[in-house]
Amino acid sequence: MTITQGAKRGAVFMLIFLILFLALMFVSIVLNSVGISQNSNVFISSTALEIVFPASVIIYLWLYKKMNGRDMIKSLGLSKDKISFYVLGLGVLLFFIISILGIGVGLIQSITGTAINTNVAVEFAGAPLWFYLFASVITPICEEVLFRGFMVPRIGIIVSALIFGLLHFSYNSTFGIEIIAATIFGLLAGYVFKKTGSLYPSILAHILVNTLAVAMLLK
C-alpha cells in the first residue's frame, strides 16, 4: 500500500501535536508540584483541549480529504475573498444581538429578583493573564473552525449549535443559561456562515463576546 504525501504530513502533524500536548501536561505538573499555580492543570488542560478542535479538523481534511492548506482554508470559509466590510459588519451585528440578549437576562433578574449566575468568574478564578488572553482571541478562532467552519456543512446548523451549547455545561450556571446562550449564538453564527460562506463574521463576534466577558472579569 502506497502512503500518500497527505497521509505522511498528517502523521507528522499528529506527532508534533502529541509532543506539544505532552509538553503542556508536563509543564502543568511541574508548576503544580512547585506550588506556582495549583490550578495550572485545569487551565493548561483547557488550552490543550481548545487546540485539539482545529487540530482534529486539519487532520481529518489532510488525511481523509487529501486537502492541501489552500483547499482547507477555502473549505472553512477563511479565504481572502470571504473577508469584506460587509461580513465584518455582520460579525459586529451578531455581537450586538448577543449583547442585547445579555441585557435582557439582566432585566429579567432585576424585575423578578431572581439571581441568574453564569459562574464564569468561578471558572476563571485563579487564572493567569495568558489564559485570559487565550480565551479572548485564540479560543474563539479554535471553536469557530470546528463548530461552524467544519460542522455546519456536515451536520447542519441546529446539531452543531446544540453540541456547541452542551460544551458549556461545565459552567454549571443557573437554569443552564450558559448552554442556552451558547446554543443561541451557535444557531445565529451557523446561519450567518451558511448564508455567507465566510467564517469571519462568527470569529469576530465570538472574539468580541469573549473579550467583553473577560474585560468584565478583570475590571
pLDDT digits (tens, 9 = 90+) for 54-92: 888 888 888 888 888 889 999 999 999 999 999 999 999
Helical H runs in 64-151?
Answer: 69-75, 85-112, 120-123, 129-133, 139-144
The CA distance from 95 to 185, in Å, is 9
Domain locations in the chain as residue ranges: 1-75, 79-219
The C-alpha cell that represents 149 in the structure block: 467552519
Q: Please report the pLDDT score of residue 210 as a whole number.
A: 93
pLDDT of residue 73: 93
Residue 61: count other Cβ atoms within 10 Å of its Cβ. 20
Q: What's the mean per-residue pLDDT of the chain?
A: 80
Strands (E), 119-218: none
